[in-house]
Amino acid sequence: MCPGGAVINSSSEEGMLCTNGMSMSSRDSKWSNAAVVVTVRSEDSGPDALAGIEFQREIERRAFVAGGGMFRAPCQGVSCFLSRKIDSTLPRTSYVNGVVPSALDSFLPGWICAELRAGLASFDKRMKGFASSAVLIGAETRTSSPVRVTRGEDFQSVSHRGLYPVGEGAGYAGGIVSSAIDGIRCADVIIDVINMQKQGMP
């Protein structure tokens, strides 16, 4: 959850759209945003080692088209998404490139939409009115790395000794807090290695 912030364009390639959410340091804008995440497993994207990247890129290509180009973002009210309707109008959003009424089903795989609908319906039961007021702006495809740099129990890369793959980019975390925790665990291991070397231990 990012209070007092904005949804921003975080695309890294032409013809592809990726969004992300952020908070300003003062947390004083009138907008709040939060990602709604669906777990994607390696078997969902294919057997190739880099299949996850292509899966991510295909969603970004389709989202770019759904937004009509110019890095506008496809957008759908939660209530319309749940009832499989297209919004006739959309409220103002924090996304400065502009939003376009669009069905999330047009760029997300059906099974991802099914998972999102189940989660959002559950949210609405717990937070009455959530479905009638929130909008979905997409797609955010970079919540965690689509590949993992394999490491051993000592946190070192199995193929490059001395390299410690850590956190979100290496595929071992899914956010700021879990990345920080993974980094602390790795730092503890490195400190132990240094202390053992100082004591002349192998």
Looking at residue 17, what is its pLDDT?
97
Looking at residue 48, what is its pLDDT?
85
> What tokens were used for 134?
């929130």
Residue 136 to residues 8, 71, 161: CA-CA distances in angstroms?
Answer: 13, 16, 43
- Write phi, then psi, for 141 (nearest 5 degrees): -115, 5
Looking at residue 202, what is its pLDDT?
65
How many CA within 13 A on the CB side of residue 30?
3
- Tens digits of residue pLDDT in 50-98: 888 899 999 999 999 999 999 999 999 999 999 999 999 999 999 999 9
Per-residue DSSP letter, 74: E
Looking at residue 115, what is its pLDDT?
95
Burial grade of 39 (CB within 10 A; 0-12, 13-18, 19 or more): exposed
- Write phi, then psi, for 7 (nearest 5 degrees): -90, 130
Residue with the two structure tokens 């929130």? 134
Q: Closest Cα partner for 193 from 149, 150, 156, 151?
A: 156
Asked if 139 contacts 19 with a C-beta cutoff of 8 angstroms, the reply is: yes
Written as one string, the DSSP assignment of 15-33 is T---EEEEE-TT--SS-EE
**Segments of the chain scoring below 50 in pLDDT:** none
Asked if 64 contacts 17 with a C-beta cutoff of 8 angstroms, the reply is: yes
